[in-house]
Amino acid sequence: MAASGSVQVPRVLHFQLIDGMQLQINVSGCSNKRNARVEFQLKNCTRTWILHWGFLYLGNRNWYIPSGEDSSGAKTYKQGALQTPFVKNGDMYVVTIELRDPKIHAIEFLLKDGSQDRWLKLNHGNFRVEVPEYDASNPLPSIPKELIDRKAYLIWESRGRPQSSPEQQKQDYADALTELQNQLRKGISLNELQSSYMNARTKIKAQDDVQPSRPVTPSSYLRRHDGPNETKAGQSSLALMDLVEKSAGGNNVVSKQNYIVGIYEIVVLSKVLSGDYHIFVALNVRGTAILHWGVSKSSAGEWLAPPSDMLPEKSKMVVGACQTYFTEKTVGGRPFQLVDVNLQKRNFVGIQFVIWCGGSWIKNNGGNFFVALQRVLPIRKVNGYSNGIVKWLLDEISQREKEAERSLMHRFNIATELTERCKAEGELGLVGILVWMRLMRCRHLTWNKNYNVKPREISEAQDRFTNLLQRIYLNQPNDREIVRLIVSFVGRGGQGDVGQRIRDEILMVQRNNDCKGGMMEEWHQKLHNNSSPDDVVICEALLNYLRAGFKLDVYWKTLHAHGLTKEKLASYDRPIVSEPCFRMEAKEGLIRDLTMYLKTLKAVHSGVELESAIDSCLAPSLNVSCSNTRQSDCLNFVKTHIGDERIGPLMEKLLESRIEIRPLLLTPHRLAKELLFLDLALASAVRTTMERGLKDLNFANPPDWYRASESHKSGDAQWALQTKAILDRLQIILSDRAVDLQIKIQPSAEYLGKLLGIGKTTELIRAGSAAVLSMLITRFDPVLRKVANLGCWQVISPVEVSGFVYSVNELITVQNKVYRKPTIIIASRVTGEEEIPDGVVAVLTSDTPDVLSHVSIRARNSKICFATCFDQNTFRNLKSKEGRAVSIQLKSSNLIVSDIGGSILPLSSLVPSISRRVTLKRKIFCGRYALSLEEFTTETVGAKSCNIKFLRGRVPSWIRIPMSVAIPFGAFETVLSLDVNKDISTKIMFLRKLVNGGNVSKLQEIKGAILQMSVPVSLTTELTSKMKSARMPWPDKGGDDQWNRAWQAIKKVWASKWNERAYISCKKAKLNHEDLRMAVLIQEVICGDYAFVIHTKNPLSGDTSEIYAEIVKGLGETLVGAYPGRAMSFIAKKNNLKSPIVRLLVMQARK
């Protein structure tokens, strides 16, 4: 097929001027070869004329003044143009301009009469001469149809493989032809093009025994994507994944990925089987297929040959890679092919591969497939940022922001490119894109600058970006939360006329309502030049202005609420400087037309617009609800009743709709993007509806909401305890989720914000419906506590005191402080691990530390009042008493806080003192590195170890005592003094001097140094012998790695001596920290169903006739380790243990 039909720049231009003058322009050469020449000829001219001119670059409307070599004889005019006089040549006047800059796209000019100072223009504008990029005089070779087909397929694939209409397919074919012709004009040979497109290379080297040929190319591109891809085996990706899972066995799935490449389907399943890491790669076709693969050890982009001792069956090594033949499998009568790569326990970043099948390479969008074996969390310290960021990505975003701010089209195209490139970076790569899009949506970044773009081009760029996000959402389940957040900041976009309607419909609004001037015309020009999400706000402001009876303050209030000021409107390339002013009789028509136009704007720019999202999913051509009548009914109800004042039925249908959509979002679906936008819109509606109606919900009348639980009985305190347990657990989950997002996102937000000069970044946590759930829980809590008779206090250490109120956010920030007058600390955050400062007589908190936490025990032992307040109003009132003197008195299980005069406080309490009640005797090393249970004494091991020995033989046989051995006091100091640890000992001694001098931050370095200690052989030998004698398994099942982990655990116990709390506690008690010795108790782990602690004296009330117990599910670490939440607790009289009274049913959060 001959290559022809490209649009050519005219080579000769003619213009008829005034007074019979004629202007002829001859263009020769081309900019690509740097030999373009433009000759201006004035004929029938009797006066001196001047060419007033400048260059244009592609996409830029501003004139550019060239260098001297291109402008001989020209003079600069007011720094913005050049002026060159015409020179007589025979019977005409001539100016010749030679171009050397290949970036020049055109010349614009005017003609100036040198004698009368008048100007000649073309239709009140500039004359324009476009410079050809290529020399069209050179014939192009014939381009094979197969090559055009292949290029058209790649264009279609780059758009996300949409289901294209015949017209779009023809357009792709024409675009492919044009692009190939342009590449030929650039000097690229036809052979090079065929090699590039038909034999697309990857990062790997071609192998001698498997020669890469062109990838599978259909006989006709137009037939290639008439409909959805069908696998040759006739089974969905979900079905193939199920077959692979059944074939592999085991339940410990790490990740799942599936890819559709033409007629091929590839499924990748990562599993841990018997402690080994397995990668299963499956293919849905029969016939010879080869997995060509390598491993990545240090980075995702690395390709290395795997070690020879871990090759699968039917494998052989080639240069730089391994080739493994697929094995045919049949499960349930359905065939497929599989390779099982056992990476054993090696610590690789991932593997890369391509597949040879049917005479061609199967690749991932022209590159390698990559399987990450662990979350890629690059910890790189960058200008003080020690948490995980993808530095290269954030740096490039910063560098390309100048280009991105030209228009939203540019921004979304760059975002698509960078998102593709950062796939191998895992979740943190997506976090970088998320932060960038969030800064854009919050208007921290410029949306348009000196560039005219059609709304259709913006919507198409959005569509490409969201199509890519859809593929990531489907293929990377672990990253769905981050992808969902990105999508919420990007409009839906779309192909075809979706964006063009923005231009067309504003003209209809103006014409129908006779408002073609003023503010509406300025807005119209802005919409034509560069539409953006700001236009949604402007349209809403106009509607509010009209509905309020033409009140301008309503118009400006709407704009200001969304960050649009007069200055912002005036800063657009097409500024809006006028205020709206309409005829009274146009009001109803404008409200009608602008309401419809708002839907068009939201369909392109808003990702959470409910009505358009519902319409998209219920459209007959896309209907995802046709097989689910209930879902369709719910969505139609929501659409009809979204503005109802009674929010109960609406909330019910909103939540039911999300529940119905949820399963579809968790499985591959051809309309995943539309479903995601719908779910985002529903979530947004849940929040706005609840916020709108929250004040009207009846929280004071329990029957209104008790019906939510079938287990409820009127006045049932037990039900209230159970409900509170559920809500408290939800609150913990919401808090954990917020902290997790903060940890993931904040380092990237701070780093990119600093690069872009943005001072404060906005939070994401409040953007979802989780904020509404938290709000509801807070509103329900006091009602539940009242029904359950819990009161608003939990008193952990009941002591009546008086003191001055001092409020802090976290208790840990003041634990080293010394107060010179009795102080009552009001702390929002108490973990349970803090020290109580000297001079403090009470700590009141809204946090929930366990009664067994360090701070709780310290408070009880020191007779300091310690209590948790569950009522936020009461807690806020306490904070408001800052600096005032109050008294705390006990009444039943509650506290009574009363104002008193400062002069009433006893003088003895004004100067705090610490009575030294504890002495510390330095223990001497017994000469042995390991002791059996029978050898435990108070001189060699701690109290817990001795208590275990004491219990042996004193408890019934049905109560098991865990097997135990210990490393005694002084062992650490002895090991540290050995020659093998001499350097570490010197370092610790130096750091210890710094700590004793007041630099407490060096404690962490001491702990780090201890973890570098080497183990002496004698310690290993003695410990092995004692553990075997006690019938305890030696940690050698996993080889040296298992013992190394055990040795690290021993050193962590030793290092805990230098915890900040331990050091400060010794200092406060006037104890010599150097006298402290650490023994290590080693016990078998018992996998219990529950763990509990029983107090033989009620620690909350001091009642010796009661026991107090706390119980949690699983191991006891959650009970004593300062985890969030509260344990289930109960009290019982010792003379009536069969009638316990449950105080709390809140189960401890597990980590």
Report the catalytic residues. Answer: 854
Nearest CA to 479 among 415, 413, 424, 439? 424
In eight-state DSSP terms, residue 452 is -
**Residue type for 42, please?**
L
Tell me how far apart the alpha carbons of residues 155 and 178 are, in angstroms, rounded to a whole number: 12
In sequence order, the β-bridge partners of residue 125 are 122
**Rg, Å, the chain Cα set:** 38
CA gap 1015, 802 in Å, rounded = 53
Beta bridge partners of 283: 266, 337
- Alpha helices by DSSP H, listed for 199-321, are 221-224, 237-248
Q: Partners of 327 in the beta sheet?
A: 338
* 206 contacts: CB under 8 Å, gap ≥ 6: 212
Distances (CA, A) of 438 to 387, 434, 444, 460: 20, 6, 9, 20
Tokens of 142: 């014939």
Contacts of 859 by beta carbon, 8 Å cutoff, 6+ apart: 796, 797, 836, 843, 865, 866
CA atoms of 840 and 858, how far apart (whole Å): 12
Q: Which two tokens stand for residue 586?
A: 């146009």
Q: What's the CA gap between 85 and 559, in Å, rounded?
A: 52
Q: Which residues pair with 248 in a beta bridge?
A: none
CA distances from 527 to 504, 505, 599, 794 (A): 10, 11, 15, 60
* Whether 1108 contacts 1094, CB under 8 Å: yes
Helices (H), 925-1059: 943-951, 971-976, 982-996, 1003-1010, 1017-1029, 1040-1055
Quickly list DSSP for 801-835. Answer: EEEEEEEEEEGGGGTT-EEEEEEEEEEEE--S-PP
What angle do helix axes 610-618 and 587-605 make, rounded to 10 degrees?
70
Q: Strand, coil or helix: what is 1000?
A: helix
Which position has the token pair 């939440």? Answer: 1125
Instruction: Confirm if 92 and 38 have CB atoms less than 8 A apart.
Output: no
- Residue 17 structure tokens: 């001027």
Alpha helices in 666-811, H assignment, sequence order: 672-693, 703-706, 717-755, 770-787
Instruction: Give the span between the Cα atoms of 1048 and 1015, in whole angstroms.
Output: 10
For residues 863 and 799, the answer to whether their CB atoms sit within 8 Å is yes
Cβ atoms of residues 290 and 316 within 8 Å = no
Tokens representing 928 are 């042995």
DSSP letter for each residue of 302-329: --BPPPGGGPPTTEEEETTEEEEE-EEE
In angstroms, rounded to a whole number, what is the distance separating the alpha carbons of residues 1011 and 981? 11
177 neighbors 3 (Cβ within 8 angstroms): yes
Contacts of 534 (CB under 8 A, 6+ apart): 447, 564, 568
Question: Which residue carries 């005089």 as its tokens?
Answer: 137
Helices 500-513 and 455-475 meet at what angle, rounded to 10?
140
Q: From start to end of 846-955, where are the E strands?
A: 865-869, 885-891, 894-899, 931-932
Token pair recorded at residue 967: 């490393």
